[in-house]
Structure 1
Amino acid sequence: MAFLDTSDRFSGKAKDFAKYRPTYPDEIIKFLRDRYGFSSKSICAEIGAGTGKFTKLLLKNKCRVFAVEPNAEMRAIAENSYKKLKSYTSVDATSVNTTLKEKSVDFVFCAQSLHWFSNAETAAEMRRILKPRGKVVIVWNKKDYKKSAFMTGIHKVFIEDSIDFLSVKIENIEDEKILADLFPQKFEKFSIPTKQILNREELLGRMLSTSYAPPKDHPKYDRFMAETNRLFMMHEKDGKVEFLYETVAYVLRV
């Protein structure tokens, strides 16, 4: 599978992404500590680090992080947050050429990003930069469309009123299929239910932060916003709705 540059998918959306996307639970780190020897001494490469949502969790645990992100808007937000930390290094590079040294990291992380660059070149680059016995950790906050009527409605909005929702791998292809195309190795899965409690403004921002949300000048924009607002009005309690996820992590020895 040839490399396809998707780094511009979130251009113009970085601020919404940073403000309205969910964080990641501490339980992921506990799982990695208990099962795979993750520690404050671990050297980590995060590929597709974006605005630093998952980077924050790694830095909180005192480990060394090389945050690889090709999108300048997203990278700048993360740099502004973490540039004063000696354990953080921002890297302007891609998944197929991280510019990191061979056999230099203990863990490679991809949080909410692998589906954009799931190709043989990326897998080869991960193997190149990992130390012997190193691990690849793939993390996704998966929208749980079946857990509530509100989330089922959100799914309908994405299908009918977004731009190219049905072409996005993470939404339409099983995780196991995405991983199997890259790694023949078996993996261990960790999952935990998570959620965001959102008011109207936060919900609209969360929806617009997706790569497939129509921009303001798109013919679908008004309906996309109106349908989202209608769902909020139908399901809000005390001015809030619950946006539900299953946070999943896959650990691979490659």
Structure 2
Amino acid sequence: MSSSDRFLGRAEVYAAARPTYPAALREWLRGRNLLTAAADIGAGTGLFTQLLLEGGAQVSAVEPNADMRAQLAGRLSPAVQSGQLHVLAGSSEATGLADHAVDLVTAAQAAHWFDPERTVREFRRILTPGGLVLLVWNDWRGEHTPFNVAYGQTITRFYRDGDDPVHINRVPEDEIPLFMPGGHEKRTFENPLQLNRERLQALAGSISYLPHPTDPLHAPMTRALDDLFDAHQQQGQVTLHYRTHAFLGRV
């Protein structure tokens, strides 16, 4: 199964449930004068694309999954209509962009799916001289709050056979130099996510290595998440503590 096919049928819950990205990250980029012309690769439903747009960037959002592209274009239709945003079918290896088209290439929650060698070749082609690459991940693992630990223990019981989610959805810090052979810097931002019962269920439904609603394991997972929520909720909310890891560098 291709990386984009893993998210077939999950675009709506992905858009509704996944965490956004902290304003502090946007302001850091703005302070570096990086929010000019950007390509957001593997843009999904546009959660990071929106941050780039809010910072004033002219954005080309590149996404291979048609459902995700439709969600992105619908959510961000004012930017499409104004011409600030262009949505393209493409991948990290074949973006469809012109040579030297952008000053910044971004990929949020996506680069762990990319082939580094082919991706770097394409990024070099589309970047202007001196252009930069920004790779971003939201990650709740490693944050040892009671709810984070309990959430991890709960979903582990429902991993799909043959998947290794620690590998496929981790922050691949040891691989960053393959994407940024010219060197990089790292910044980390706090990004806690408050969830009601429905959003917790939707969050699990957006994850490619957990059961799809058509899977027989989806119903028992739903019950387990309900029990988890009831055990930890305060005033109808739980908090999953994420950190946003941002790597900025050169190809």
Alpha-carbon offset, residue 49 of structure 1: 0.5
SS at match of 1:181: helix
Does residue 95 (structure 1) correspond to residue 92 (structure 2)? The answer is yes
Residue of structure 2 aligned with 1:126, choices 110, 116, 123: 123
For 1:167 and 1:22, how far apart are their aligned partners in 2? 18
Q: Which residue of 2 aligns with 1:157?
A: 154
Cα distance 1:50–1:106, how it changes in 2: closer, same or farther (>3 A)? same
Does residue 30 (structure 1) correspond to residue 24 (structure 2)? The answer is no
Moved more, 81-90 or 144-153: 144-153
Question: Aligned partner of 1:31: which letter?
Answer: W
CA distance in 1, matches of 2:233, 2:118: 45
Task: Report the number of matched residues.
Answer: 247
Query: SS state of the match for residue 106, structure 2?
Result: strand
User: Are residues 1:197 and 2:194 paired?
Assistant: yes
Matched-pair contact (CA < 8 Å) for 1:107–1:135: yes
**Alignment counterpart, residue 166 of structure 1, candidates 158, 164, 167:** 164
Shift of 1:239: 1.1
3-state SS, counterpart of residue 211 of structure 1: coil
Alignment of 1:155-234 (within 5 A): 155-163=152-160, 166-167=164-165, 169=167, 171-172=169-170, 174-234=171-231
Q: Could you say which residue in structure 1 is the equivalent of 2:60?
A: 66
CA distance in 2, matches of 1:91, 1:146: 35
Separation (CA, whole Å) in 2 of partners of 1:203 and 1:178: 30
Report sequence identity in percent: 35
SS for the counterpart of 1:9 is helix
Q: Which amino acid aligns with 1:71?
A: N
Q: Which runs of 5+ in 1 are unaligned?
A: none
Following superposition, the deviation at residue 33 of structure 1 comes to 2.9
Write the distance in 2 (CA, Å) between the matches of 1:15 and 1:119: 29
Counterpart code for 1:72: A
Match of 2:250?
253
Q: Distance in 2 between matches of 1:170 and 1:85?
A: 36
Q: Secondary structure at the match of 2:188?
A: strand
> SS at 2:91's partner residue?
coil
Residue 147 of structure 2 contacts residue 232 of structure 2 at CA under 8 Å; is this kept in 1? yes
Alignment correspondent of 1:147:
144
CA RMSD of aligned residues (A): 1.8
Output the CA distance in 2 between the equivalents of 1:69 and 1:197.
27
Other structure's SS at 1:132 match? strand
Question: Does structure 1 residue 48 correspond to structure 2 residue 45?
Answer: no
Structure 2: state its 5+ residue gaps: none
Query: Shift of residue 97 of structure 1?
Result: 0.6
Query: Which segment drifts farther, 239-248 or 216-225?
Result: 216-225
SS of 1:219's partner is coil
Question: Given the superposition, is the C-alpha separation of residues 248 and 220 from structure 1 closer, same or farther in structure 2, using an over 3 Å criterion?
Answer: same
Query: For residue 12 of structure 1, what is the aligned residue in structure 2?
Result: 9
TM-score by length of 2: 0.92
C-alpha displacement of 1:217: 3.1
How far apart, CA to CA, are the structure 2 residues paired with 1:8 and 1:170?
14
TM-score, normalised by the number of residues in structure 1: 0.91
- 2 CA distance for matches of 1:155 and 1:212? 13
Question: Residues 92, 176 of structure 1: CA spacing in aligned structure 2 closer, same or farther, 3 A cutoff?
Answer: same
